Structure 1
Amino acid sequence: MLERSTNNTQRFLPWACLLFFGLFFTTSAHAQDPRFAQFYANPLQLNPAMIGVFEGQMRFTANYRDLYSSVLANKPYRTLTAGLEFKSPVGRSDFASFAISTLRDRAGTSNFQRTRLTLGGSYMKQLDDNRRGNGGQYLVIGAQIGAGQRSYNWEDLWFTEQFNEGTASVDYTADNGEAFDKASTNIFMDFNAGLLWYALFDDNNSIYVGGSMHHLNKPSISLLDNPMEKLPTRYVVHAGGELPFNDNLSILPAVAFQSQGTAMSTTFGGNFRYRNRDWKELAIRAGMWGHVANKLEQGFGIDAVIFTTILEMERWNFGISYDVTTSILSVANNSRGAFELSLIYVHPPQSRKYRVNCPNF
């Protein structure tokens, strides 16, 4: 794939082929879901069982990721997600929650787009009788149902059949030799499910383990009326917690393993969290993470180091992170990977019946 430019065409033809295979076959044939460095700040895309796991009555989350702008210029991978959750008490100590979330991203010269709208719910069950204290154990089960679609803009692409070697130019009027039946997939249904267990031992001492399965129905996402072109199920296992050093300083380690089709990846690391009693409801976090991915026959390797900073306020969390590329792609992008923002707003409970102890993520 190349943009509509004939400058230095012969020189960049190999890169065009590489970009075509990397973008088209990765996103269409293998159809991998977008990855977020701040996975812990994007709960509705990570695990449906994260719905309602917050200390409040309502939560709004938003995430933005800009990937490979140094390589793809003004058409990088841009991903935007947003979610809204509501929680309601059930009985003495359990909770039921409802959520709506959306995801949209766009990438490359073809303007490849993914759009998804999801409705979800969860049920939080307390496993002990310690609701009034700072501790407690909870088991959460969650599920999501949604609809999605993928699309391309074929008119902005050219193919090898349209390249004239004699003039070293592209003839856009020539037949491209491809049989593209449509520019978008049919709208498909999507199903996700997950579990989460967590335990709290104090205000800043907790542990959690969760797992989820996305695209359980493996919907068809073909642009060529090929019913065998399906979206692979994505499996997620994640864990983390908070370990205190003293009343003011703690560390929040976490790890998330994801597998989808032939692709596997792990993001691991931690954020240091500092709060001062004089700051009241203000805290700051800073940390470093690593992202490991399989390279098929080469095995696993670290392809990015992630630096994060998060500002916590009474109701708001603002996060920013940057991926430094460490894979072979660093030669092309000068190690400039992805820029990511996260925003979380939690509306505090209006009465004691909405109060529930939850870990910091």
Structure 2
Amino acid sequence: MKQTFTLLKNIFFLLLFSINSIAQDIHFSQFFETPLLRNPALAGIFSGDMRLQFVYRNQWQSVTTPYQTGSLSGEFKLPIGKHADFITIGGEILYDRAGTIALSSTHVLPVINYHKSLSEERNMYLSLGFMAGIVQRNLDRSKVITDNQYDGSNYNEGSFDGEAFTTNSYSYFDGSTGMSFNSQIGENKDNNMYAAIAYHHFTKPSNISFYSNPAIEVDPKWVYSAGIRLSTTADSYLTFQGDYSTQGLGNELIAGLSLTKKLDDIDNPKYLIEGGAYWRLQDAIIPVVKLSALPLSVSVSYDINISGLPQASDTKGAFEMGLTYQKYFDHNSSKDAVRCPRF
């Protein structure tokens, strides 16, 4: 009886938390490691010609079957024309698996971003990006358990679950667009900022239901992003970043800062260490550590739950790990370019 009560209590707090997060998309605490998910116009806003990133998230392990989410993205930045303009091409693959019924979604989203130079003297760019592709969702019907399968206190595995599913999977076309402004601050090329706005789900996908209900659709989402990087000493710098998003009845604010220390060459470092913390409003405090042996970086974070869920989760939140491979090409590179989008 005690175990049943504990389970029901955990489910109640999980549902309560879900109500507060209604209509929210896939998200990561290390949002700075998933730029394409934030805004396609942030593609290519980095120091380098190529960037590959992988982020893995494991959430709510102490409450229910863990929610597991992964992102794999790639960006390739190339000069175009004769006016210090650039174009970034790439894409992102997202995978999310939730709950005991293995409810999963897979997103395959190519991206293109055009960077227009606005200054003849310093890095200053206005970028317009688009990302669109296919999303597929499915579940394991054999793992669905409902009250219709209970006869009093006995569970009958072979009985009909009472759900009139028309399909175990469906797919739809989805897209997003955005703009960003990226600029050098002052005379130091290492001091940079960006501000961006994105509009997700402009295709307004409908009929996204296992019951083939055309009235159910994906709510559009607006994401407002900003970041600034400032040198504190010759061998260190501070980075401030944040996102605010709204979708349907839900909204989310996440922001924070980190300090990065160069461990070898000040002008062209290979080894760096970074530490900081981020805050998701009314949800979690997120310490982050990142180690770099360029061109490879590894980041680790953990959500410390401060929402209404701790009574069920024992303050345990989500673990995330990120891997980044970022480098310049040997030829036709932006490394020595006078002007180039970077952060």
TM-score normalized by structure 1? Answer: 0.85
C-alpha change, 1:60 and 1:306, in structure 2 (3 Å) is same
Letter in 1 for 2:301: S
Partner SS for 2:291: strand
The SS at the match of 1:69 is coil
Distance 1:253 1:83 in 2: 23
Give the equivalent residue in structure 2 for 1:43. Answer: 35
Per-residue displacement from partner, 1:58-94 (whole Å, max 9, x unpaired)? 221111111111222xx31100110122222112300
1:115 aligned residue = 106
State the alpha-carbon separation in 2 of the partners of residues 321 and 149 from structure 1: 28
Regions of 4+ moved over 6 Å = 22-27
1:183 aligned residue: 168
1:57 corresponds to which of 37, 44, 49: 49
The alignment status of 1:213 with 2:209, answered yes or no, reads no
Structure 1 match to 2:89: 98
The one-letter amino acid paired with 2:270 is E
Assess, with a 3 A threshold, how the Cα gap between structure 1 residues 35 and 353 changes in structure 2: closer, same or farther. Answer: closer
Preserved contact between residue 26 and residue 32 of structure 1 (Cα < 8 Å): no
Match for residue 157 of structure 1?
144
Deviation by residue 1:91-120 (Cα, 9 ceiling, x = unmatched): 230011211210011011110101110111
What SS class does the counterpart of residue 70 from structure 1 fall into? coil
How has the CA–CA distance of structure 1 residues 124 and 320 changed in structure 2, closer, same or farther, with 3 Å as cutoff? same
Partner of 2:299: 319
Matched, 1:14 2:1: no
Q: 1:228 to 1:151 in 2, by over 3 A?
A: same
Paired residues of 1:103 and 1:116 also in contact (CA < 8 A): yes
Tell me what 2:312 maps to.
332
Which residue of structure 1 aligns with residue 176 of structure 2?
192
- Give the aligned residue type for 1:118: L
Residue in 2 that maps onto 1:85:
75
| Deviation by residue 1:205-230 (Cα, 9 ceiling, x = unmatched) | 12110111111111121111111111
Correspondent of 1:306 among 274, 282, 286: 286
Deviation of 1:163 (Å): 2.4
- Whether the aligned pair in 2 keeps the contact of 1:55 and 1:349 (CA below 8 Å) is no
- Which 5+ residue runs of structure 1 have no aligned equivalent? 1-6, 293-301
**Cα offset for 1:314?**
2.4
- Conserved 8 A contact 2:49-2:333: no
Report how many residues are paired: 334
Q: 1:219 to 1:152 in 2, by over 3 A?
A: same
1:277-298: CA deviation from partner (whole Å, max 9, x where unpaired)? 4473221110011101xxxxxx
**Over aligned residues, Cα RMSD in angstroms?**
2.4
Q: CA deviation at 1:231?
A: 1.1
Per-residue deviation, 1:122: 0.6
Contact 2:244 2:253 in 1 (8 A): yes
Shift of 1:184: 1.2
**Cα deviation code 1:160-191 (max 9, x no counterpart):** 222233xx232223332221111112x21111
Aligned runs of 1:248-287 on 2, under 5 Å? 248-278=235-265, 280-287=269-276
Percent identity between matched residues is 28
Q: What's the secondary structure of 2:303's corresponding residue?
A: strand
Label 1:334 to 1:17 Cα distance change in 2 as closer, same or farther (>3 A).
closer
2:72 & 2:135 partners in 1: Cα distance? Answer: 15
CA distance in 1, matches of 2:236, 2:326: 23
State the secondary structure of the residue aligned to 2:279. strand
* Contact 1:9/1:169 (8 A) holds in 2: no
